[in-house]
């Protein structure tokens, strides 16, 4: 990174969960990406990408125009973009689909977005409006800023940033015996992450290269919810699949089609995909809040759900009391106690 450019993301803690470890019968660690400045892991990849773009513009000389960053997002990517832009001394505009909740729109505005535009029935329509209308208009206006597109998940710079999660977790786990009463190997045996468009997953896959020992590769468990399972379906088909629509409540996983890199990674031998119903993600979010004192959205809760339901044993055979599993707590801001109560009420009413 360029020395005079701030870094809009942080190193996050890795903590051991006694509750999840007891349930799983192995050591379960939580990589707390929910503590990133924007509230989710999106700060990693998007922040890294934006720093790269700013450095490239500044390399053109002191008279180079300032970037104005443009993000299309249902919320979390937009929040990461806005935070990073403000940290870097730039402006950011976010375009969100009409399905985005007022709760998230208010968060984007409060975070300091230069503008929040609501348009389109899906993320793709919002993105098309951003790239086809807003950015060309901004470029034509010639207001002294350079419009810069910030992809939510499909870019090498995004994956490079997210790869740091796995590498950081591995280094922290290696030193964990200083802090916890266990005698584990200190090696990451498996990493669990959720998949939307595939940017986090692709980054994790990049980051786990070389982490295994004795020729054994670190396993990666890629988790989705039913109705937002574009990666799982692509793996089964052996090619990219575009969902007709997103029916899951986990809207942050709502990419109808994953990036090509995600499918390429998923076809590697050290990956297993899993799909759980929304109900399991909802119950996991509630239990996670009760037992771990962490409030996360459904797109994140689906990861500890594979521990609570016992599916981790099916997905990663051979785990024992010395094995180490890292769950990426990706975070997300589309959750509150009121929202969680509504989800739980829906379950109780059979909705």
Structure confidence by residue, pLDDT tens digits, 188-242: 999 999 998 999 999 999 999 877 655 578 999 999 999 999 999 999 999 999 9
14-40+155-349 is classed CATH 3.40.50.1100: yes
pLDDT, tens only, 293-319: 999 999 999 999 999 999 999 999 999
Band of the pLDDT at 181, cuts 50, 70, 90? confident
Alpha-carbon distance of 184 to 71, in angstroms, equals 42
pLDDT at 175 over 60: yes
Cβ–Cβ under 8 Å, residues 298 and 278: yes
Cβ–Cβ under 8 Å, residues 43 and 8: yes
Q: What pLDDT is stored for residue 212 in this prediction? A: 64
pLDDT, tens only, 123-163: 788 999 999 999 999 999 878 899 999 999 999 999 999 99
Span(s) in the chain for CATH 3.40.50.1100: 14-40+155-349, 43-149
User: What tokens appear for 25 in the block?
Assistant: 């019968």
* Cα distances (Å, whole numbers) of residue 228 to 79, 162, 195, 309, 343: 21, 21, 9, 19, 17
Alpha-carbon distance of 290 to 251, in angstroms, equals 23
User: What tokens appear for 261 in the block?
Assistant: 């890199």
What is the SS3 assignment for 10?
coil
Sheet containing 66-72: order of strands:
115-118, 91-96, 66-72, 145-150
- Cα 154 from chain centroid? 12
User: What tokens appear for 203 in the block?
Assistant: 């980054």
pLDDT at 51 over 80: yes
What is the SS3 assignment for 68?
strand
User: Nearest 10 degrees: CA dihedral of 160, 166, 170, 171?
Assistant: 40
Band of the pLDDT at 3, cuts 50, 70, 90? low
pLDDT, tens only, 250-259: 777 778 899 9
User: What tokens appear for 84 in the block?
Assistant: 């990073």
Alpha-carbon distance of 203 to 205, in angstroms, equals 5
Residue percentage of the chain with pLDDT more than 90: 71
**Largest Cα–Cα distance in the chain?**
62
Alpha-carbon distance of 97 to 245, in angstroms, equals 14
Q: What pLDDT is stored for residue 215 in this prediction? A: 57
Band of the pLDDT at 351, cuts 50, 70, 90? low
CATH number of 43-149: 3.40.50.1100
Q: What pLDDT is stored for residue 213 in this prediction? A: 59
Read off the pTM: 0.92
Task: Count the helix, strand and coil residues of the chain and give each as a percent rounded to the nearest 5.
Answer: 45, 15, 35
């Amino acid at each position: 990174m360029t020395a005079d450019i701030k870094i809009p993301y942080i190193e996050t803690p890795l903590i051991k969960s006694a509750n999840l470890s007891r349930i799983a019968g192995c050591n379960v660690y939580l990589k707390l990406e929910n503590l990133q400045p924007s509230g989710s892991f999106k700060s990693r990849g998007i922040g890294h990408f934006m720093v790269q773009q700013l450095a490239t513009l500044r390399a053109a000389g002191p008279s180079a125009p300032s970037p104005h960053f443009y993000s299309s997002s249902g919320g979390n990517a937009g929040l990461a973009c806005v935070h990073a832009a403000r940290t870097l001394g730039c402006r950011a505009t976010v375009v969100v689909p009409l399905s985005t909740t007022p709760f998230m729109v208010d968060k984007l505005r409060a975070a300091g977005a230069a503008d929040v535009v609501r348009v389109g029935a899906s993320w793709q329509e919002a993105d098309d409006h951003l790239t086809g209308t807003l950015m060309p208009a901004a470029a034509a206006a010639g207001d002294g800023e350079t419009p810069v597109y910030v992809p939510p998940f499909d870019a090498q710079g995004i994956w490079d940033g997210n790869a740091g999660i796995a590498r950081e977790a591995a280094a922290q786990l290696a030193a964990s015996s200083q802090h916890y009463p266990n005698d584990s190997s200190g090696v990451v045996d498996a990493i669990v992450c959720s998949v939307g468009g595939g940017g986090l997953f692709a980054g994790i896959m990049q980051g786990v290269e070389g982490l295994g020992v004795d020729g054994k590769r670190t396993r990666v468990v890629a988790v989705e919810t039913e109705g937002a399972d574009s990666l799982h379906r692509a793996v089964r088909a052996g090619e990219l699949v575009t969902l007709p629509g997103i029916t899951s409540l986990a809207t942050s996983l709502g990419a109808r089609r994953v990036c090509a890199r995600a499918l390429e990674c998923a076809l590697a031998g050290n990956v297993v995909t899993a799909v759980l119903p929304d109900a399991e993600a909802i119950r996991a979010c509630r239990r996670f809040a009760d037992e771990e004192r962490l409030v996360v959205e459904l797109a994140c809760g689906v990861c500890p759900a594979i521990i609570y339901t016992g599916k981790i044993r099916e997905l990663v055979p051979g785990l024992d009391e010395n094995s180490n599993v890292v769950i990426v707590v990706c975070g997300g801001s589309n959750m509150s106690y009121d929202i969680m109560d509504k989800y739980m009420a829906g379950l109780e009413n059979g909705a």
